Structure 1
Amino acid sequence: MRPLYISFISLVVIIAPMTTAIAQQRTTYPRDVVEQYISSCSGRQAGQIRAVCRCIISGIQGQYTYQQFQRLNEEIARTGKVQDARLNRIIQDCKSNSNTYSLRSSRVSSFKS
């Protein structure tokens, strides 16, 4: 019984930091901020563009804390462009995974909240 107990403790010691790291990878933003982003991103259009916007905000939440997101939003509002390589990658991945080719980068990368 003792070796099994030690194995379980060892497993917990190994897995606990991994689950903490995984939990830290995805940050939950306030619901109204997410909805505001999706509305701002998609405008009055629905369907696929809205799905791309959801993909983008989901990717952002997986890569940035809420505070980092706010700083990116401020930078984009100030400069008018996306200069962060990770964010550009998220946007491009979401756009390329859709069948919509009429997406405008300025609309899809809108962060104004």
Structure 2
Amino acid sequence: MVNLRGFIYLLLTLVLVFLLSSSGCSTDFSGLDMKKKPKQELIKVQIVFTDDQSIVGYVKSLGIEEHGKVYVGGSSLNYLYDKNGNIIGSYNYQRVLYIKILPEKEGQE
């Protein structure tokens, strides 16, 4: 009976330590379940920069995306993707003049 009581105290202590350590952090457990998050659709765009250079690729959103970063001073880091969702480059949103949405050509695989 003494061993069972000690085991229960140990188990309760471990549960309490786990709850205190996880509740005090800004841990986001929602990313653990991959079934809840649908794959985000990519948008085919032409990005024209302030120096009249342009590039065609895919983006996840027309603004600063969830995984993009904004740095002090206004510069930012956004990703450019291929049609399969692989990162092929990055760009600074501060240097973007405009973004034109391009239609997907039918029959391309």
TM-score (norm 1): 0.31
Report which of the two has the higher share of helix.
Answer: 1
TM-score (norm 2): 0.31
Of the two structures, which has the highest relative contact order with CA contacts closer than 8 Å and spacing of 6 or more?
A: 1
| Higher-Rg member (1/2) | 2
Report which of the two has the higher share of strand.
Answer: 2
